[in-house]
Amino acid sequence: MNKKNLILVTGLLRSGTTWTGKTIAAAKGIKYLNEPFNLDRQRKNCPFKYYYQFIDSNDKISDQTAIIDYINHISQSPTFYVSDQMRLMFRYKAFKNILPLLWGKKNFFGRPLMKDPIAILSAEWIYKTFGADVVIVLRHPAAFIGSLKTAGWAIPFPHLLEQKRMLNMYFNEFIPKLESYSKNHYDVIDQGILIWNIVYSRIKYYSDIYKNEWYFIKHEALSKNSIVEYTKLFNFLGIEFSDKIKSIIAKSSDGSSINHLSRNSVQNLETWKTRLTQEEISRIKSGTSNLYSYFYDEKDWN
């Protein structure tokens, strides 16, 4: 199968979308697009106004067209792709990536893979607009918040609060907390609980509607049984699962590869238990109790 359509790898941030996206993009004929929805990338002519921007068919045609043109330009123009990647390399001082970027035809004309956790709330629109193959990466709430705590990241709740139509359609129950979190300081545990609940309420909707069309994979499953789970994922995407890919997966999950994505994937599953206190774990479990049972079992907290 030689598919050419867009691949979207998304999920909540700090959930393994980069590892998943980079692994798929290591295959022949795949071109990696790094977070078109992310305002931090500061791309020229970026049409987005908000982090976690929501788009659907009810948006102005002109707004939808601007976003379609932007994504098409990023994914189809080889000159923009290379110049954009070079710009990001210099910005983040990732100079070791220059040769891999310039090596090989697939980097210029390959099947586009859009890795973008910031696009999670618009995944349905991307699927319908681009005929994309959608991969949703899931992660246990405590593991996600443990990673968020380590990274020291804050969630831009005012950007969600500004999107009134989206809130009224899908997230009405979260409006009071969003108003409070946008004005006052809350610690990373409370921030993580709120964003996990918002995003996973949307992921539950996706799962209910698209469970037979999209690919939902737990970060934990990818980590425990990497070769088996990536084999199934590559098959879904119609991509050859070569010996080269198997080697890359092995090196990126056993800690033997020297790069920022290298980890002992099985040991990594348990890090949240040391990153978080028992009080914090209890808060997370209580705070996500209305949703986590749709995705995880009680034993997953042990």
**C-beta separation of 19 from 252 below 8 A:** yes
CA-based nearest residue to 6, from 27, 28, 26, 32: 32
pLDDT score of 254: 61
CA-based nearest residue to 229, from 238, 219, 237, 221: 221
38 by Cβ neighbours in 10 Å (0-12 / 13-18 / 19+) ranks as middle
pLDDT score of 105: 47
CATH 3.90.1150.10 fits 7-301, yes or no: no
> CA-CA distance, 145 to 217, in Å (whole number)?
18
pLDDT score of 265: 62
Any residues with CB less than 8 A from the CB of 113 and at least 6 apart, and which?
A: 6, 7, 9, 21, 24, 25, 30, 31, 32, 33
pLDDT score of 88: 62
Residue 112 DSSP SS3: strand
> CA-CA distance, 156 to 191, in Å (whole number)?
10
What residue ranges in 141-277 does DSSP mark as E strands? 215-218
Residue 235 DSSP SS3: helix
CA-based nearest residue to 5, from 136, 115, 125, 132: 132
pLDDT tens, per residue, the chain with 302 residues: 567 899 999 999 999 999 999 999 999 889 888 899 999 877 778 999 999 999 999 999 999 999 999 999 888 876 676 777 676 666 656 655 555 555 544 556 789 999 999 999 999 999 999 999 999 999 999 999 999 999 999 999 999 999 999 999 999 999 999 999 999 999 999 999 999 999 999 999 999 999 999 999 999 999 999 999 999 999 999 999 999 999 989 887 665 544 444 455 666 788 999 999 999 999 999 999 999 999 999 999 98
Coarse DSSP helix, strand, coil percentages of the chain, rounded to the nearest 5 percent: 60, 10, 30
Cα–Cα distances in Å, from 56 out to 129, 165, 232, 265?
A: 9, 11, 30, 36
> CA-CA distance, 78 to 26, in Å (whole number)?
18
